[in-house]
C-alpha cells in the first residue's frame, strides 16, 4: 500500500463519517417529530372520545398505527363531537 492509497482511505473514512453525522441526526429528528405528532393525535383522540362519553381507546393499539391513520381517526371523532353539539 503506497502513500496515495493511505490518503485515499483516510479521505473516504472522513467522508463516510461526515455523511453519517449528517444523515443520522436528521433521521432521529424526523423520528422524534413523527412520535410527537402521533402522541398529540392520540391525545386528541382521547379527548374526543371523552367528549362523546366513550371510554378512551387503549394507547398501545393506537401507537401501532401510522400518523395518517391516527389523523383520520382524530378527524372522524372530531366531526362526531361537532355534530353532537
Count the neighbouring beta carbons within 10 Å of the beta carbon of residue 41: 21
pLDDT tens string 9-60? 888 889 888 887 777 777 788 888 999 999 999 999 999 999 999 999 999 9
Question: For residues 47 and 51, what is the distance between their CA atoms, to the nearest angstrom?
Answer: 6
Q: Minimal CA–CA distance to 59: which of 36, 79, 38?
A: 38
Q: How does residue 85 score in pLDDT terms, banded at 50, 70 and 90?
A: confident
Q: How does residue 83 score in pLDDT terms, banded at 50, 70 and 90?
A: very high
pTM above 0.75, yes or no: no
Amino acid at each position: 500500500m503506497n502513500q496515495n492509497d493511505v490518503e485515499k482511505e483516510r479521505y473516504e473514512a472522513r467522508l463516510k463519517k461526515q455523511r453519517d453525522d449528517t444523515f443520522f441526526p436528521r433521521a432521529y429528528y424526523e423520528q422524534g417529530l413523527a412520535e410527537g405528532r402521533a402522541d398529540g393525535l392520540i391525545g386528541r383522540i382521547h379527548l374526543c372520545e371523552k367528549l362523546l362519553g366513550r371510554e378512551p381507546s387503549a394507547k398501545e393499539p393506537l401507537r401501532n398505527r401510522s400518523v395518517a391513520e391516527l389523523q383520520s381517526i382524530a378527524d372522524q371523532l372530531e366531526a362526531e363531537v361537532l355534530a353532537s353539539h
